[in-house]
Amino acid sequence: MAGSLADQLLHWYDGHARTLPWRQPPGSGQRSDPYGVWLAEVMLQQTTVATAAPYWQRFLSRWPTVQSLAAADEADVLREWAGLGYYARARNLLMAARLVAEAGRFPDSEPGWRALPGIGPYTAAAIAAIALGKPTVALDGNVERVSARLFAVDAPLPAARETLRERLRPHVPARRPGDFAQALMDLGATVCTPRAPRCPACPVRAACAAGSAGIAEAYPVKPARRARPVRHGVAWWIEHQSCVALVRRPAKGLLGGMPTLPGTDWQAEPGCHHPFEADWVREVATIVHGFTHFELRLSIDRADVPARFSHIGDQPLDWTPLDRLAEAGLPTLYARAVEQVIDATLEPVR
Ligand code: SF4
């Protein structure tokens, strides 16, 4: 039984594997270079294969070994990373490369990889399977979906993750575990897709509980939707002679390090608070914005002030001309706020 699912999948993989620059040809028996697999998996954490591939090639031609990456300047690495987003990944990659270079070798186990900065359970398992040939279960989004359907697991994700891991574990073959992991990823990406999975063309349909029952799209089971809590905030549009005061948010936390309008903290109850006395015009615009864990209702209060001042509290102000706000790099929430305020207040307040 343990071999049958693996055999069907590996047979399919031999003829249908996606060609990816960091991969060995299926069935070649060659293990991929840990550095290349690691780099690919980190890039793929938030990025599609098509976007990541040219970055991966540029990185490897500039820093062909982990030692060369370890010796790189962080600024150069971040520059090469520009466009991939989530820059903490690049910083962690560099930190981990320095630890590996210092140790003089790559970790030789899944827990060893897991201990490096920026490497979560999935990435460690994928590297262990693909580069080290360890029989691990590497659960990315594609593999979670395929497994939830294969075993018709009724619990929603992420609570079902451990169940999926346990159901899949006995099927991981001792021979070609890396190809098995990649075959599951490819099956999820090309056949067992989120919508309209191609069950009739699937190599494991006979072994698939949901596919053979014709109810593939009922899995993974969706968690019951919970209403997101609401938070309220007031942003201050402070204007002087066609310039608006911006601040920079603290480096850590939501919208970390980004320029925004100054304003109150975001709280459970609506409230009104202004940083100084002025003829404030209340609620010239209101934005409702969904964050992952809450919904923000941000109202924008406006005051025109007679002079520029340098700070609100200990926050330095950056006075930005109205016609340069679009280039200020505001996050979407505040870009929408700017748009609405400009639409709503074509005339100055005084
Ligand atoms: Fe996915 Fe259908 Fe294949 Fe099952 S039979 S693994 S649901 S594509």
Q: What is the pLDDT of residues 83-133, one digit of tens each?
A: 887 788 899 999 999 999 999 999 999 999 999 999 999 999 999 999 999
pLDDT value of position 275: 94
Cα 168 to ligand 1 centre (Å): 15
d(CA 276, CA 295): 27
Least confidently predicted of 28-37, 193-202, 295-304: 28-37
Pocket of ligand 1 (CB under 6 A): 146, 149-150, 191-192, 197-199, 202, 204-205, 208, 210-211, 216
Return the pLDDT at 327: 86
Alpha helices, DSSP H only, in the chain? 2-16, 34-43, 49-62, 66-70, 74-81, 88-103, 110-114, 121-130, 141-150, 161-168, 177-190, 209-212, 332-344
51 Cα to the center of ligand 1, angstroms:
27
Q: Is the pLDDT of residue 3 over 60?
A: no
Output the CA angle 53-57-61, nearest 5 degrees. 170
pLDDT at residue 106, rounded to an integer: 97
Q: How many residues does the chain have?
A: 350
Q: Whose CA is nearest to atom 4 of ligand 1?
A: 211
Query: Span 311-326, mean pLDDT?
Result: 92
Q: What is the rounded average pLDDT of the residues 283-302?
A: 92
Please identify, by atom number, the ligand 1 atom nearest to the C-alpha of residue 204. 3
Does pLDDT of 222 surpass 70?
A: yes
Q: Give the chain's mean pLDDT.
A: 92
pTM over 0.85: no
